[in-house]
Amino acid sequence: MMKAPISKILSEGDLIRRGLLREAENITGTRIIAYIANPNVSPNFIDHNDPVFFNDVLESVGQTDKLDLVIDSPGGDPNIAEKIAFMCRSYCKYQFRVIIPNAAKSAATMIALASDEIIMGYLSEIGPIDPQIRAVTPQGQITYIPAQSIIDSLGLLHDALKKGLDPRVTIALIQKIDPSLLDVANKAIQFSRKFAEEWLSKYMFKGYPGKAKDIADALSDNRRWLSHGKRIGYQEARNLGLRISVMNQQDPLWKILWEYYARALVHLNNIGAVKLFESGELTLNLTIGIKTKPAAPKQPGSK
């Protein structure tokens, strides 16, 4: 039966993107799934919603010898990142690679560290994995603070005291620091470092635990990078010792994947979705509904 015109038009974008993933598979000789976060919609972080969608996309490709994950994400919950890495690993027998068309930062970098190899383009980037701690400002706004900065704040106050800052001011500031928050920050740093070291030792640098530890220490060192959003391009990632394969601008695979990524972003913005989960067989969109209070009814005679 011929598909109704409006239905065909609405699904054309999905079909084109899935076709691009199949083209890429013909080049790589692997099965490919994609996870793209919309940078213009919040919350777009790796979170508890993702494993359900990942499960369906992974089931759509089934068990395979080699699996590639195309990812673009600002990061999020490292515990969910570990679960996603485990899920991807569970569906491939021999090789799991992560392909980064643009950016895989923070917890998304952690997923990449669980792979056998990271594939990057000339503008691709990963980032530091130093954890961010959720906090609430005095104005009630949610913000994220580097865990290391929370710990370092005590040292900064101690230095200020030695330099002559009024002790009363120092004591007042110290009293604002929550000891439990310091504990959370310290454990978060340990978790990120341990995650990277264990997964690197198990796969990318199997048999080379010392190298895995060095890379884990470097990527989790907030003092080295200064900014959690620091761009780490393919050359710097190689210098750290990571196993990086690079697609140049003329590489047919790069051209296909960049077109796929660009189309995915346009699609997400057009429908207002937060994330796209996709394979050559399946398209899933995650949209978060925001509840708003109904407007108060107008009183008779009011303008």
Confidence of residue 3 (pLDDT cuts 50, 70, 90): low
In the chain, domain spans: 5-127+231-286, 133-182
The predicted-structure confidence for 215-270, as pLDDT tens digits, reads as follows 999 998 888 988 888 999 999 999 999 999 999 999 999 999 999 999 999 999 99
What mean pLDDT comes out for the span 134-143? 70
Query: What is the percent of the chain with per-residue pLDDT over 70, rounded to a whole number?
Result: 82
Has residue 195 got a pLDDT over 80?
A: yes
- Per-residue pLDDT averaged across 185-194, rounded? 86
> How confident is the prediction for the chain on average, in pLDDT?
87
pLDDT confidence of residue 291: 44
pLDDT score, position 301: 55
Q: Which two tokens stand for residue 204?
A: 């990318």
For helices 147-162 and 179-202, angle between their N-to-C axes, nearest 10 degrees: 130
Min mean pLDDT across 13-22, 167-176, 244-253 is at 167-176
The pLDDT confidence band at residue 274, using thresholds 50, 70 and 90, is very high
Indicate if the pLDDT at residue 169 is higher than 50: yes
**pLDDT > 90: percent of the chain:** 64
8 Å CB contact between 112 and 98: yes
* pLDDT grade for 135, boundaries at 50, 70 and 90: low
What's the pLDDT at 180? 74
Query: Which one, of 103, 136, 94, 129, lies nearest residue 35 by Cα?
Result: 103
CA distance 284 to 4: 21
- Is the predicted pLDDT of residue 23 greater than 80, yes or no? yes
> Cis omega before residue 138 (within 30°)?
no
CATH of domain 5-127+231-286: 3.90.226
